[in-house]
A and B are shown apart, each in its own frame.
Chain A
């Protein structure tokens, strides 16, 4: 009897399961955990041992997943990025959806929740210091309405973090996640042959390989404790335009002054990889300090910047 009980794996719910990062995380966890995969975009098949659902968190039926499974931990990676859908849908999904998910986590006594946020919440402005730590104010919302859902999600996570400490919430704010199959703005840019740059501006940037990010999430799950907010970044930096050079991208300078000029150009061309609301991130640096995460979780990234950029170089043949 004791032997049978020993074999039961703890169950983890992973949202955004159709995404590249979630699949890397699931691949690392499936041996020791029973993973339940959820995505609102598609039902992904990840093997017979991984129950998979296509459902929106806001739908009533979502709660049935908690009823059917004995979930002990939730990894919430299912965040619509700013280039997806419109503001209202993103707000519904990222803020209201996360609110519901956290309520269910409380109702079903989940004791570990990881929420994937983004370094974008700090906002890009000319007066940013470098090595921003987790206590810095979140200024993204003052830049653009398009990032409000990201900041609101953080506020929500903070409320639950203090209201329900037993949920053991860990919020991760990674720098630019890049690498194979990643389809965010930065990865799309580095994959492109031609990349816009704001003339005269080449802000410092940080990049983390998708496999390192997956390892970071797994490190949090394995540690169990350490609730709180953590930046996730490597201790290596590069200027944006040099990153493009190293990925063999051809730089297309965009007129940068007055600030309205690049905004108009971006709006006119409707570039998915150079959206108007992210323009400031191509102008001013947002360099985060990942020291707290690295020391708390004993995390050491494996991929160097050169290895990251060589993947994009090879893509271009």
Chain B
């Protein structure tokens, strides 16, 4: 028996199988989509991630019903914690929500495809190379996409800069306008404390061809995570100047910042 179906039989509960069957997945006859998502790997990852989501990070979600049940959508969140744990938590929350679960796609850094094993594994779990063409094609196929407009500026930030939003790129706004996709802002609280970094060895990162080389304890701390999903924001499509696009991006950034503050107020303790 092949490994993936075997793991699926061992780890995936009947309840999860039932739930997963009801999620629309635009895959081909062998269970793959063009970006490499594989239904077997995806559901096994979900099953294995359940205790991490529920017991380790004790994730609390508020307003997840704000993500539409179908159609293109951009889920825009703050990025933190060195590793893309925030993306996985948001994806898991949406894939397991009670009503109309969806498998969102997370955009990942451009160096991942060059890493043996990891690159393919992330693709099979549903992650996609962060490229505007990929994003546009997926929105065209009515997918929900998780975007971190801060990019590595956010994930690589140091502990002393926690919960301070870095510059947002404008790309996601152009795509949202082109595809008439709603933007659902998300404030992630807790991931900043999972891998606190005190410094970044930039020359080492450059030498290794990776975005950053943090000085941090090689351990993922079990910080309590709160995900606050805001109301969908709609932006009229049409030709506007880049300054106007930036103003719209700032509007999203302000909303993400508000949701972070909300999460920080809701949090009783860090761990």
Contact = CB atoms under 8 A, between A and B. Distances in A.
A204 interface: yes
B30 interface: yes
A197 to B, nearest CB: 11
B22 interface: no
A253 B128 CA distance: 25
A221 B2 CA distance: 44
Contact of A200 (B28, B29, B120): B120
A238 B134 contact: no
Given A131-B137, A204-B35, A306 B113 contact: no
Contacts, number: 76
A236 B33 CA distance: 7
Contacts of A289: 137
Contact of A235 (B28, B35, B120, B129): B28
Interface in A199-223: 199-202, 204
B32 A239 contact: yes
Interface string A236-255: 11110010011000000000
A284 interface: yes
A201 B34 contact: no
Contact of B34 (A131, A256, A284): A131
A124 B146 CA distance: 26
A130 B137 contact: yes
* A contact patch SS: loop
Nearest to A132: B133
Interface string B105-119: 000001101111101
A239 B116 contact: no
A1 interface: no
Interface string A268-285: 000000000000000011
B156 to A, nearest CB: 20
Nearest to A240: B120
Interface in B168-221: none
Contacts of B2: 245
A257 B115 CA distance: 9
Interface residues of B, number: 27
B168 to A, nearest CB: 22
Given A199-B116, A200-B117, A239-B38, A129 B30 contact: no
B84 interface: no
A239 B29 contact: no
B34 A287 contact: yes
Contacts of A239: 32, 36, 38, 120, 124
Contacts of B161: none
Contacts of B250: none
B236 interface: no
Nearest to A205: B32
B17 interface: no
Interface in B144-159: none
Interface string A115-150: 000000000001111111000000000000000000
A197 B114 CA distance: 15
A194 to B, nearest CB: 19
Contact of A126 (B28, B114, B117): B114
Contacts of A129: 129, 131, 133-134, 137
A237 B28 contact: yes
Given A200-B120, A201-B120, A245-B2, A127 B32 contact: no
Contacts of B137: 129-131, 289
B178 to A, nearest CB: 15
Given A200-B120, A202-B120, A127 B113 contact: yes
A305 interface: yes
Contacts of A238: 28, 30, 32
B238 to A, nearest CB: 23
A124 to B, nearest CB: 11
Contacts of B36: 130, 204, 237, 239, 285
B138 to A, nearest CB: 9
A234 to B, nearest CB: 8
Nearest to A245: B2
Nearest to B128: A130
A127 B124 CA distance: 17
B116 A204 contact: no
Contact of A204 (B29, B34, B110, B114): B34
B116 A305 contact: no
B28 A305 contact: yes
**Most chain-A CB neighbours within 10 Å: which of B34, B38, B137?**
B34
B58 to A, nearest CB: 34
A245 B2 CA distance: 9
Contacts of A257: 116
Interface in B224-244: none
A201 B30 CA distance: 18
Given A239-B38, A285-B36, 12 more contacts: A126-B110, A127-B110, A129-B129, A130-B36, A132-B133, A198-B116, A200-B116, A236-B30, A237-B33, A238-B30, A242-B30, A287-B35
Interface of B: 2, 28-30, 32-36, 38, 110-111, 113-117, 119-120, 123-124, 128-129, 131, 133-134, 137
10 residue pairs, one from A and one from B, having the closest CB atoms: A200-B116, A236-B28, A129-B133, A130-B34, A200-B117, A126-B113, A129-B134, A129-B131, A237-B32, A131-B137
25 contacts: A126-B113, A126-B114, A127-B131, A130-B134, A131-B34, A198-B116, A200-B120, A201-B116, A201-B120, A204-B35, A235-B28, A237-B32, A237-B33, A238-B30, A239-B32, A239-B36, A239-B120, A239-B124, A242-B30, A257-B116, A285-B36, A289-B137, A305-B28, A306-B29, A306-B30
